[in-house]
Chain A
Amino acid sequence: SAVISQKPSRDICQRGTSLTIQCQVDSQVTMMFWYRQQPGQSLTLIATANQGSEATYESGFVIDKFPISRPNLTFSTLTVSNMSPEDSSIYLCSVEMAGGSNEQFFGPGTRLTVL
C-alpha cells in the first residue's frame, strides 16, 4: 500500500490567480495521476504525471491550464492556472503500485474554491 499526502487540503482563491497542489507518496511508485471531482460527481482524470517527461493529458485538459511536474518517483505537483469559478472542485492525486494490480491509492484531496 501507499500513504499519500496532499497540500494544501483546501484553499479559497481569487479568479485569475494560480494554485499549486503538491502530492507526496511515502514510497516510490510508477504511476501517478491527477483527478478532478465536482461535488457529488465521479472522478475525471486530468492527466498522468510522468517522471522526467511531460504529463499525458486527457481530452479537455491542456498543459497551459494544468501544468504538472513530476521530478521523481514520490512527488508531483499540479498547478491550476488563471483560475475561474468553474475550476472550483476537489483535486485528487492517486498512485498505482508496480506489480500488475490496477489498484489505486488516493490522496485526501484538495478542495479548491475560486471566487
Chain B
Amino acid sequence: AQSVAQPEDQVNVAEGNPLTVKCTYSVSGNPYLFWYVQYPNRGLQFLLKYITGDNLVKGSYGFEAEFNKSQTSFHLKKPSALVSDSALYFCAVRDRDGNNRKLIWGLGTSLAVNP
C-alpha cells in the first residue's frame, strides 16, 4: 500500500542555520513527489515536485529537495532558514505506475525557526 511518513512532528532550527524536513515514502511503482507549505490560517501552497530527471529539485522561496530512490526519501532542505519559513510542511506522493493513482499526504511537520 502507498504511504508517506514524515517522522518528525516538529522541527526547530535557529535563523540562518540549514534546515531539513524529512519525508519517506512507499509506492509499488515509481513516484511523483510533492512538497507543500501551509502558513497559519492560509491554504496550502505548492513548493516543489519531483517528476523525473535530476534528483535535486529546486523550488520556491529557496527550498530544494533531493529524491533518493534507494532510501525512498524526499527530504526538504534550505541552506539558511528564515523566521518567515515557520509553517506546516506536507509531503505527498502519487504512484506513477501502480493501479492506485491517489495522492497520499503525510501528516505534516511543523517547522519553527527561532530568531
Instruction: Please indicate whether A and B come from the same complex rather than being unrelated chains.
Output: no
Interface set of B (CB-CB < 8 Å, partner A): none
A-side residues, CB < 8 A to B, are none
